[in-house]
Structure 1
Amino acid sequence: MTLTIESAKAQAKALRQALATAGTPVSHAQALELIARQHGARDWNTLHARLAQRNAPPELAFGDRVTGRYLGQAFSGEVIGLQGPSGHRQIELKLDRPVDVVQFESFSNLRSRIRSVIDETGRSLRKTSNGEPQLVVEKALR
């Protein structure tokens, strides 16, 4: 399994709970620092930066072909707008084929354009009710 920021945070949470059960409570910050050292980093900030850079998709640019998932639906399309720094970047996509964003059989809502804010990994900051990112964008291979 590839280590991600989310999985490192989950490890820290599990470590904190295990230590508390064993009678050695630590703060969340202390647990993050312990996990960082376990993975060979000087501190949490160093591990976080390393993971963000390693897990980041290739830099997206206007006109790039992309693939991904929007509200659980696979898509392909083109980047038609980008604004902001790479950590919190607004992206606008024009899809090759509209995706149905409604899961009810008796109703449909097709979208051919998507606008969202994504992080450095290409995942939207907003999540669906099951905790998954609403949008995941990857640069298409040519």
Structure 2
Amino acid sequence: MSNFNNGTAVPTPDALKSQAKRLRSAMAEKQTPISQGMALEAIARQYGYRDWNTLSAAAKSNAPRGWHVGQRVSGRYLGHLFSGTLKAVRAAHGGYWYLTVVFDEAVDVVDSEAFSSFRKQVNVTLNPEGVTHAKTSNGIPHMELRAT
């Protein structure tokens, strides 16, 4: 069997192990017990992979990366350096993330000497590289974020 996945989304490693456990249980009920290793190999073939190790690696590489509530972050918001904490995190389709960032110190979001407008918290949508698609009028991303 090849390493070709049939296009089915690969669940997390824990979900795959749960599937293998249910398979073992079902087989035991039918008086045909199998080992955990056999169950894992059967699950791998079901997803179109040649073996458990290959499927497991694919599942780990598909795991969401990066952001979690309470994580310390820093970067630039509207061109201003900041540090802060993630208050809310939600994974979106295609590796994008919806985040609420609470700044350690409020950021002035107005580039004017006539007045100021400070923000202590913002909601942003980031791409997999930690950058917003939205840009200022001079082409700078609204936010560039990195874990600290």
Q: Normalization by structure 2: what TM-score?
A: 0.54
Alignment match of 1:69 (pick from 76, 80, 93): 76
Aligned twin of 1:138: 146
Cα drift, residue 132 of structure 1: 1.5
CA distance in 2, matches of 1:137, 1:87: 15
- Provide the alpha-carbon RMSD of the alignment: 1.6
Q: How does 1:78-97 map to 2 (within 5 A)?
A: 78-85=85-92, 87-97=95-105
Q: How does 1:28-43 map to 2 (within 5 A)?
A: none
Could you tell me which amino acid in structure 2 is paired with residue 73 of structure 1?
Answer: H
Could you tell me which amino acid in structure 2 is paired with residue 78 of structure 1?
Answer: T
Aligned twin of 1:122: 130
Count of residues paired in the alignment: 84
Gap runs ≥5 in structure 1: 1-52
Higher Cα radius of gyration: 2
1:8-38 per-position Cα deviation (integer Å, ceiling 9, x unaligned): xxxxxxxxxxxxxxxxxxxxxxxxxxxxxxx
Aligned twin of 2:49: none
Gap runs ≥5 in structure 2: 1-60
CA distance in 2, matches of 1:127, 1:102: 15
Cα drift, residue 82 of structure 1: 0.9
CA distance in 2, matches of 1:129, 1:98: 22
Cα drift, residue 89 of structure 1: 1.2
Please say if 1:60 is aligned against 2:62: no
CA distance in 2, matches of 1:63, 1:91: 11
Q: Name segments (4+ residues, structure 1) moved above 3 Å.
A: none
Cα drift, residue 127 of structure 1: 0.8
Cα drift, residue 83 of structure 1: 1.3
CA distance in 2, matches of 1:62, 1:113: 14
* Identity across the alignment (%): 33
